[in-house]
Each structure stands twice: as structure tokens, then as C-alpha cells.
Structure 1
Amino acid sequence: MREAATASTIWQKQRGRRLAAIRFRRFTASNLFVLGAVTVVLFIVACAIVPSIIAPYSPTEMLTDSIMQPPSAAHLFGTDYFGRDIFSVVVYGSRDSLFIGFASVIVGGLAGGAIGALSGYAGGWLDAVLMRCNDILMTIPGILLALAIAGALGKSLFNIVLAVAVASIPGYARIMRSQIISIKGRTFIQASQAAGASPLHIFWKHVLPNSLSPLLVMATIGVGTSILTGSGLSFLGLGVLREVPDWGTLLSQGRGYLTVAWWICTFPGVAITLFVLAVNIIGDRLRDQLDPKKSMR
């Protein structure tokens, strides 16, 4: 009996490794995913964390003999009206942009996920009250809601993160609520209830772990959306005035020179586009990988 149990355990472990290897190959099979992953790693690690390794100049260094120079070997993205190297400013400016994107997704995802989980699992009058408040927020366009919050709170990096996070809460709440309602009506939940498990135990051990996949996918894609929203706020003049501006502020500062120095605002816009595209590719790949209907094929 022991030998049979040992053989069964070994077989299960080998089967688990094979399934994990198959999932990993499927996950990395797409060339678009690989391109997106590399782009994200370059943006986060090289630009945001260690920008001095990538940037050839200081972002505050003003080269008075090279004002508004077009892209060249010496200045890959050209220079601006202060003589600053645009490439260096874009690299250093990624810190604030990426911080806004990731921090707002964490705050909005946690808050929206908590509201959706409470609403979907509790049900009744609490569900009705929370969802009606959520519906009111959903009737307001996200950028308009973020603009109103940021304008009321004032210019600071924390206020921008808070504004973008609040604007994203309704979407996370809706996704989480629908997933919770779907999970709690399944057979294994009913079996746990029949076995005498408490509602809190069922929620933490069964309902919540099986409801996080859609929220994770939405949060991944939401990083790009949050960066776009934060850049839009900066473009409209609600960004933080710092020595090293973020991508949205760079766009705002360069728009007046578009006809005479197109590179000043073009390359920050390209940086935003590439990063958002990379994050969306990863989010799509995650959605395909975590979709149980596709994983069964």
C-alpha cells in the first residue's frame, strides 16, 4: 500500500510539472507577448529604477549651445527649448508616470475589489446600496471624474494617484461583484455550506481565491489606462511641477513648439504609446491564459 501511495504521489508531482511546463510554453508562445514583456522590463527596470544607466545626460542639464536641436547621434531624441536632452528627460520622467500607473491600480483595485466582493457576497440591501453608488460613479466619464478630484485636491503626486484610483474603482467593483456572484452559486460552495463551514471560511478559502483572475487581468490592462489618465491630467495642467516632468507634462510643455520642434512632444507620446501597448498585450495574454474555457482546449 505504501509503495502504491508513493508511486501515486510521484505521478501526481510529475503530472503537475508537465502541466506547469505546458502552461508556461503557452504563456510565452506569442511573439507579441515576448515583445510586450521586454518593453515593460526595459521601461520599469532600466528607465524607472536605474535611469542613470540609460540616460546619457542629466535631465536638468541645460546645454545652451544645443537648444532645440533635432534628433541626432549626440541627442537621440533632440533637445528642448532649455537645451535639455529629450531622451534623458523621457527616461527620468518615466518614474512619476509609472508610479502613477502602478500605485493607482493598486489603490483602485484593492478598493474596488473590496467593494465588489462585499456587495456580491453579502447581497441584500447592502448590495443594492453599494451598487447604486457605484452606478452613479459609472455615469461620470473616468477622465472627467479624475479631473474634478485632482482639481479639488490640488497639485501633488499623491492627489493624482488618488484621483486616477477613484475613477477606476467602479470598473473593478463591477468585475469583482459579478465574479463573486458566479462563484458562490457553484456546487462546491454549496457542498461547503452543507458540511457546516462558516460563511467567512467559505469566502476566504473558496470564493475569493477563485474570483481573483479577472481582477488581475483588468488590473494589468488598467496600468496602461491609468498612465493615460495621469498623463491627461498633467497635459491639462494638473500635473506636479517638478524639475523632471512626467510624460504628460512633457507633452503639455512641447505642444506650443509642435510646428518648429516636433520632437519635443512626439517622443514622450511615443513612450506612452509603447508602454500602454506593451501592458495591453500582456493583459490580453493573461486573459487568454487564465480563461478556463480556453485552457481546456
Structure 2
Amino acid sequence: MKEATALKPIRKITWKASVSLRRISASSVFLYAACLVVIFMTACAIAPQWIAPYSPEVMDPNQLLQPPGAVHLLGTDYFGRDVFSLVVYGARDSLLIGVASVLVGGGLGGVIGALSGYIGGWVDVIVMRLIEILMSIPGILLALAIAAAVGPSLFNIVLAVSAGVIPNYARVMRSQVLTVKNKPYVLASRSIGSSELSIFLKHVLPNSLSPFLVMATVGIGSSILTSSGLSFLGLGVIKEIPDWGTVLSQGRGYLTVAWWICTFPGAAIALFVLSVNVIGDRVRDTLDPRKSGD
């Protein structure tokens, strides 16, 4: 009997997780978006050699600016490189920057916002004033300034994009913590002598994560857009294998004679960002307690 009683909370959490997963996957649009994300992250980012027909570093002078066809599915660029292979291999750095920026910026912003909201007082006032100063600077402008100052590299681009999103995550997390820390179950836990650290880790933080996770999901797409914009302006990662934004930048001078160089990398960015946003919207609708019947 004691074992059955002890397993009840675990079974309840497992049941709720399975119900949420069924709700999320019930939409056919979500399934299509999830399939696109999986294709980008596995076939393109993890194992591009499985799908790319050519090496992105191979230049063929006899195949300069060839339009899309049977030999080159998405055409070739001004070096004779296969555009389809460039798009496939370029996904790696683009997705890495997007995910890493959310982990770094979202993690720092979430910690700052959570501690600021829970501690309150003069700490909250000082932290929020600093966050408001950062929020007065557009994220893309802040990322542009940092990237121009520290120089183009993968680490620096992640740093630049992360800095631009920290205020948004901090504000969202602080707002949730301020709401949760005054809930009856938190006050009851404090009244029976639980430590503030225990209350924060066991009650406040877990119940404040839903909007944060949704924002992080959507933030991957936004970070990729920002990093692509930096690459388009010449402040991206300088490598032999360019990312999506760099391919766009390199092909803009040939837009009137070779539209495919810019079109297909741009379409890849649009499809991935749209797919991530669809997934984020679905997760938000599922985790929203106002729309839950349980």
C-alpha cells in the first residue's frame, strides 16, 4: 500500500505528460512542422553528407550560374557550387547559432528574471532598471554592435545574438515568478517552515517555466533570423562552408541573373522559422492552463 501511495504522484505526472503530448501532436499542421524541423536538424545539420549530392567546397568552372535542373536540383552559384548542397551544409551553423543563442541568452535571462522577481525589493528595482536600459536598444542593433566590436566568429555571433534576447527572457520569467510566489501553496509551504531555497526550487521555479519554454521554442527561429541578418551584412561566421545568411549575402549581386542563389536559402530560413513558430504556438496552447480542461 505504501509503494502504491508513493507512486501516485509519479503516475499523475506521467499521465499529464502523455495527455499534453497527445494534445500537442493532434494537429496535422504541427506534425508537418515537426517533420520539417526534424529533417533540418538531422539530415541537414547532423549528417548533411547523407542528403547533399555534392561537396559545398567543390567549384566547377564549367557549371557557373546554372539554373535549377536535373544535374543541379537548385542550380549553381557564381563559383559553380551546387546551391542545394550549400543550403544543406549551411543549416549546421545556422541551427547551431539559433539553439546556442536560446540556451545562453534564455538561460541567463531566465535566471536573472527568476531571482529578481523572487528576491524583490531593491534587488528587483536595480535589476529591472538595467533590463529596461537594455530593452531600449533593439535586439538586432545590439547584436550588430557587439558583432562589429568583437569580430566575426561562431562564438562571437552566439554571444551577440544571446545578448539581444536576455532582457525579453528576464521580463517573462520575472512576471511568472511574481505571480507564482504569492499562490496559496507557496504561502502554505512557507508557513510550515520550508526554506526559501526549497520553496523556490520545488514550487516557484517549476510552475513558472511554461511561458518560458514556449518563448524559448519560438526564440530559436528569431535567433536564426538575427544571425542570418548579421551574416547578410558581412558580420557572420567566415568559413569555407557558408551559412544561410552568408549565401544570401553572396548571391544578392546576382539576383537579376541568378535568382535561385538567394531564393532557396531564403526559403530554407522561412520554412524553418515558420515551422518552429507553429510548434511554439501549439506548445503554448497546450500548456496554457486557461485552455486546459484538467
Question: Any residues of structure 2 matched to 1:86-165 within 5 Å, and which?
Answer: 86-165=83-162
Question: Any residues of structure 2 matched to 1:1-297 within 5 Å, and which?
Answer: 19-296=16-293
Could you report, residue by residue, the CA deviation over 1:77-132 in whole angstroms, capped at 9, with x for unpaired residues? 10000000000011001111011100000000110001101110010111000000
Matched residues in 1 for 2:229 and 2:200: separation? 39
Matched residues in 2 for 1:279 and 1:196: separation? 43
Matched residue SS, 2:193: coil
Could you report, residue by residue, the CA deviation over 1:139-195 in whole angstroms, capped at 9, with x for unpaired residues? 111100100011111111111000000000000000000000000000000001100
Q: Is the 8 A contact 2:20 2:287 kept in 1?
A: no
Deviates more, 1:234-243 or 1:39-48: 234-243
Could you report, residue by residue, the CA deviation over 1:203-226 in whole angstroms, capped at 9, with x for unpaired residues? 111111111111111000000000
Could you report, residue by residue, the CA deviation over 1:219-257 in whole angstroms, capped at 9, with x for unpaired residues? 000000000000000001101221000000011000000
- CA shift, 1:295, in A, is 1.4
Give RMSD over aligned pairs: 1.8
Question: Partner letter of residue 65 of structure 2?
Answer: M
Matched residue SS, 2:236: coil
- CA shift, 1:296, in A, is 2.0
The alpha-carbon distance between structure 1 residues 200 and 17, as it changes in their structure 2 partners (threshold 3 A), is closer
- CA shift, 1:23, in A, is 2.9
Matched residues in 1 for 2:26 and 2:112: separation? 36
Quick one: percent identity of the two aligned structures? 64
- CA shift, 1:15, in A, is 7.1
Matched residues in 1 for 2:5 and 2:121: separation? 46
- CA shift, 1:280, in A, is 0.4
Q: TM-score, normalised by structure 2?
A: 0.95
- CA shift, 1:53, in A, is 0.3
Question: Partner letter of residue 181 of structure 1?
Answer: L
How many residues are aligned here?
Answer: 294
Q: Is the 8 A contact 2:220 2:276 kept in 1?
A: yes
Matched residue SS, 1:49: coil
Unaligned 5+ segments in structure 1 are none
The alpha-carbon distance between structure 1 residues 63 and 21, as it changes in their structure 2 partners (threshold 3 A), is same
- CA shift, 1:13, in A, is 8.0
Q: Is the 8 A contact 2:94 2:228 kept in 1?
A: yes
